[in-house]
Amino acid sequence: MRAPFTAADWAAIYPVGVLTAAALLVLVADLFSSRREQRYGSVGIALLGVAGAAYLAARQFGHNHDAFFGGFIVGGFAAVFQEIILIAAAGSLILYASIGPPQRVAGTTAIMLWSTCGAMLMAGAANLLMIFLGLELLSLGLYALCAASDRRAAREAALKYLILSSTATGFLLFGAALLFGATGSVRLADFVNPAFAVNPLYWTGAGMFLIGLVFKLSLVPFHTWTPDVFEGAPLPVTAFMSVATKAGTLAVFARFIYAALPATIAQDVLLPVWIVAGVSMIVGNVGMLAQTDLKRLLGYSGIAQVGYIIVALAGSTPLGLRYALYYLAAYAFMNLGAFAVAAAISGEAEEGAHLSSYRGLGRRRPWLAAAMTAFLLALAGLPPTAGFLGKILILATAVSNGYPWLAALLIVGTAISLYAYAKVIRAMYERPEGAEPSDVRPFVPLAWLSAGICAVAVIVMAFYPLTPSNILPLAH
């Protein structure tokens, strides 16, 4: 028997392979390094691995290939999502250079690299089994990463995430089983036959599958775990979860709604999802108002931001997908930048997570405060940032696709969110009334570098609306 796969199939998973090898190398190198080398050695190898994977994934852009019997499709769509996921991984891994005990850095960076592999598999997954494999690889690593801290809250977060996420996976798997039952295939491309649309099994399966995805995207009403888990998890893990998990799940979601649903019924099946996205934009932004913890605040913010991205997909037009990708990339830089600033003013105890430590930051660390202001303005969607342009594009596509009510909800949600983001900006620049945190944290080069790159990206992206056009078709 010959090997069942061709060289091109293997080439499709080179980026994932490089990350896996880098993770193994991190573990081996950790065994032979001293205490002092452990931290920078692990982070350095991990970042090199991410850079290698990013190079290989970029080379695949524009060369569509159905690897492994159509189970894993690389090329445009997957490459763009993989790059965003790798940016998220790099932006989170870099924070380990200053956060957490050194003897734990190797294990956590290795697990984070494997989780990144899972998200990257999700980006290209085009059959139900591959989707499940990627999702589980991503989630299993995250359970351990959430718990990798000495704080009690971290363990609580890990347990909550484990239980709720497993429930969601159960939904997804049951839905996948019903879809297989209704269609007799695991390939998304085989689901588009309109003849299936009369089968109640198909509707139930698609519904449960979407519920599982919506849970992972933490949209209302499946959002309650997000703020708790974000608050409890260590800072780099929160940064990773807020971008990479959402990007991977959005890839599966987008591929499913574009490539697996018959066009005649797609908008009927998806109407509940659009409603859920609309409600999320309101609930997420209202939830932000009372928060005193940055990670919690960004958790609620993420609920609303994913809502915005889903609004771009409403109507399932190719242009909507391009705008969604643009906003996702911008969102990645905004969030990673905000977490980098939090890490730059944090010590071992993650003080930067508390909003009180931002009081007077404008005088103590003017550059960090300026960068943070840019990220918060971008999250709120104000010019001159990528968030502004992204929201304009999403509003335009929502109205032209016939979903003006979603556009209206987006505007209302944005108006509410302004108050929450502006509160942090005000705290950074206003004259202090009471005691101001006076200690200035030492200069953390890598976190500052990350914040700087993200700030430049958030501003520059506003003037170069890169919306990749050759990302379709998603499945054959």
Partner 1 sequence: MNPYGPVAIYLVVAVAAALLFSVVPGLLARAKPNAHKREAYECGVEPTSPVAGRFPIRFYLIAMLFVVFDVEAASFYPWAVQMHALRVFGLLEMIVFIIVLAIGYAYVWKKGGFVWR
Q: Choose the stretch contacting partner 1; rule: CB under 8 A; options: 25-33, 39-47, 87-95, 226-234.
A: 25-33
The answer to whether the peptide bond before residue 262 is cis (omega within 30 degrees of 0) is no
Examine residue 8 and tell whether it contacts partner 1 (CB under 8 A).
no
Q: Choose the stretch contacting partner 1; rule: CB under 8 A; options: 22-30, 164-172, 263-271, 438-446.
A: 22-30
Q: CA–CA separation, 152 vs 159, rounded Å? A: 11
Minimum Å gap between C-beta 237 and partner 1 is 20
- Which DSSP string do the residues of 126-178 spell out, in sequence order? -BHHHHHHHHHHHHHHHHHHHH-SSSHHHHHHHHHHHHHHHHHHHHHHHHHHH
* Residue selected from 6, 8, 10, 28 as contacting partner 1 according to rule CB under 8 A: 28
Q: CA–CA separation, 364 vs 367, rounded Å? A: 9
Structure tokens at 146: 């959430």
Examine residue 272 and tell whether it contacts partner 1 (CB under 8 A).
no
Minimum Å gap between C-beta 3 and partner 1 is 4
24 vs 286 by CB, closer to partner 1: 24
* Residue selected from 11, 27, 319, 422 as contacting partner 1 according to rule CB under 8 A: 27
Q: CA–CA separation, 339 vs 329, rounded Å? A: 16
110 vs 247 by CB, closer to partner 1: 110
Q: Choose the stretch contacting partner 1; rule: CB under 8 A; options: 23-31, 38-46, 88-96, 366-374.
A: 23-31
3 vs 435 by CB, closer to partner 1: 3
- Which DSSP string do the residues of 294-329 spell out, in sequence order? HHHHHHHHHHHHHHHHHHHHTT--HHHHHHHHHHHH
The number of beta carbons lying within 10 Å of the beta carbon of residue 224 is 14
Examine residue 31 and tell whether it contacts partner 1 (CB under 8 A).
yes
Contacts of residue 364, defined as CB under 8 A and 6 or more positions apart, other chains included, come to 440
Q: CA–CA separation, 77 vs 64, rounded Å? A: 9
181 vs 347 by CB, closer to partner 1: 181
Examine residue 7 and tell whether it contacts partner 1 (CB under 8 A).
no
Examine residue 24 and tell whether it contacts partner 1 (CB under 8 A).
yes
Minimum Å gap between C-beta 28 and partner 1 is 6
Minimum Å gap between C-beta 110 and partner 1 is 9
Minimum Å gap between C-beta 130 and partner 1 is 18
- Report which of 337, 361, 306 is spatially closest to residue 87, judged by C-alpha positions: 337
CB 86 within 8 A of CB 53: yes
Examine residue 466 and tell whether it contacts partner 1 (CB under 8 A).
no
8 vs 399 by CB, closer to partner 1: 8
105 vs 345 by CB, closer to partner 1: 105
The number of helices, as runs of H, and strands, as runs of E, in the chain is: 19, 2
Tell me, rounded to whole angstroms, the distance of Cα 281 from its chain centroid.
17
Examine residue 198 and tell whether it contacts partner 1 (CB under 8 A).
no
Structure tokens at 29: 């190198």
Examine residue 101 and tell whether it contacts partner 1 (CB under 8 A).
no
CB 207 within 8 A of CB 269: yes
Find the farthest-apart pair of alpha carbons in the chain and give their distance in angstroms, rounded.
78
Examine residue 3 and tell whether it contacts partner 1 (CB under 8 A).
yes
Q: Choose the stretch contacting partner 1; rule: CB under 8 A; options: 2-10, 153-161, 217-225, 464-472.
A: 2-10
24 vs 265 by CB, closer to partner 1: 24
Minimum Å gap between C-beta 185 and partner 1 is 15
CB 300 within 8 A of CB 291: yes
Minimum Å gap between C-beta 20 and partner 1 is 8
- The distance in angstroms from the start CA to the end CA of the chain is 28
Give the interface with partner 1 as residue ranges (CB under 8 A).
1-4, 20, 24, 27-28, 30-31, 181
